[in-house]
Amino acid sequence: MGNTVSNVTAGKPNPAGAIYRASVGTTLPTNTDALDTTKWVCLGFCSEDGVKNSGEMDSENIKAWGGQTVLTTASSTDDTFNFKLIEVLSDEVKKFIYGDSNVSGNLTDGIAVGVSGYSQESSSIVIDMIMRDNAKHRVVIPSATIAEVGEIEYTDGDAVGYDVTLSCAADGSGKTHYEYTKRVPSTSIVPIGG
């Protein structure tokens, strides 16, 4: 099999919604079919930087007498996702960032947030994308916790946002996230989640 141009793609957000959150224990999708939006809450737009996934592995080289490496062992692995949520007026985004119990109200009646740091609640996350030639791509994270929130800047030249790094915990099968991809005919594409 040679080079295949149609396998080269960019990752665009699903226009119906790209990043969803649910409570850990919610039934996880195992394909790219529409999400049950009564259980999965959309976290809205993220910045133009998109989503970044980093996998970091610490390893140790075992050397034999004479200095030759004879074995490399993995001592730890980290799977993280980073994105910047820019719908900061959303009560659902604030609940994700600060914790469900620390946020009350809605934008119409007023939102109150009691800040005591950032949420340490675990959430299940789904990230939905549309790839080249109507290929749906979905990332499913069974259990993610906010590991870091970047500096929040309030300026008149940029959108305010929460730059979030998520740390993914392994599930019962030892997997930190799953990926599903399926190309569908352009005449039958239905936005993921809608």
177 neighbors 141 (Cβ within 8 angstroms): yes
| Residue 190: pLDDT over 60 | no
Classified as helix, coil or strand, 22 is strand
Per-residue confidence (pLDDT) for residue 188, from 0 to 100: 52
CA distance 158 to 78: 31
End-to-end CA distance of the chain: 36
For residue 53, name the pLDDT band (cuts at 50, 70, 90): very high
| Residue 56: pLDDT over 70 | no
CA distance 88 to 69: 51
Q: Hey, what's the torsion of the CAs at 180, 185, 191, 194, to 10 degrees?
A: -100
CA distance 157 to 87: 16
183 neighbors 141 (Cβ within 8 angstroms): no
Q: Give residue 153's identity as a one-letter amino acid code.
A: E
Classified as helix, coil or strand, 187 is helix
For residue 64, name the pLDDT band (cuts at 50, 70, 90): confident
DSSP label at 41? E
Per-residue confidence (pLDDT) for residue 74, from 0 to 100: 63
* Average pLDDT for 12-27: 95
The domain segmentation of the chain, as residue ranges, is: 10-186
Per-residue confidence (pLDDT) for residue 75, from 0 to 100: 58
**Model pLDDT for residues 136-182, shown as the tens digit of each residue:** 999 999 999 999 999 999 999 999 999 999 999 999 999 999 999 99
More confident residue, 184 or 74: 184
* Closest alpha carbon to 52 in 117, 124, 129: 129
DSSP E strands: which ranges in the chain? 12-13, 19-23, 41-42, 52-63, 69-85, 103-106, 110-113, 123-130, 135-149, 162-168, 178-183
Per-residue confidence (pLDDT) for residue 1, from 0 to 100: 72
Mean predicted lDDT score pLDDT of the chain: 90
